[in-house]
Amino acid sequence: MPGTVMVNGKKFREPDPFFETQLMKTQFRNLIVDESDNTKNKSSKRFKSLRKIAKHFRNRLLMSGTPTRNNVNEIYNQLEILAQNSSSMICWAEQQVEYDRSSREWTYGNNPCFGSPFPAWGGYNAFERTFSPKKITCFGAEETNQDIFNKDIFDKLVRSIRFTRIYDIEKPRINAVLNMTDV
């Protein structure tokens, strides 16, 4: 089985079809994406390509000094690349949140994703309504802020997929998992 493919998330663009085909034909063991926070735009070619090729790797490691810059919803695409909408992405939040513009209050309703993985289609929107919904401003524009709802569930989800900062003391453990030697 071939070894490791490293990608810089900031510089990665849509690979040419030949490269993508070769990646899909060959079962690589490890995918390492540095600067993974650059996959926050779900409609970008960068994210779509990474999501497409990531499923062909047995191990996926995403690294970022700032997994989110503006709000927690930016972490969803990284979760999707890591977990591939699998049982690791099960939503245990019983309620979704919505901002009621007329009462100017947050309202809670049943979460249709409860007990199942966030869906491949519409998963980002379900994640957003569960953890950090948009608020309609007085001008009718949507605005996302730093509020996090269902914090305990969000924390369990992120910890289950193992988000961590990489320090020198963790390198040997990661290298052992990836069967790599430190250079």
- Quote the Cα angle for 65-93-132, to 5°: 50
Identify any residues that bridge with 110 across adjacent strands, giving them in sequence order: 95
Closest CA to 38 of 29, 50, 28: 50
- What's the pLDDT tens digit per position in 37-69? 888 778 888 888 888 888 878 788 887 777 777
- Asked whether the predicted pLDDT for residue 183 surpasses 60, the reply is no
Structure tokens at 61: 């490691």
Residue with tokens 């690791």: 88
Q: What pTM value is reported for the model?
A: 0.73
- What's the pLDDT tens digit per position in 140-180? 667 777 778 888 898 888 777 765 555 555 666 666 666 65
pLDDT of amino acid 8: 59
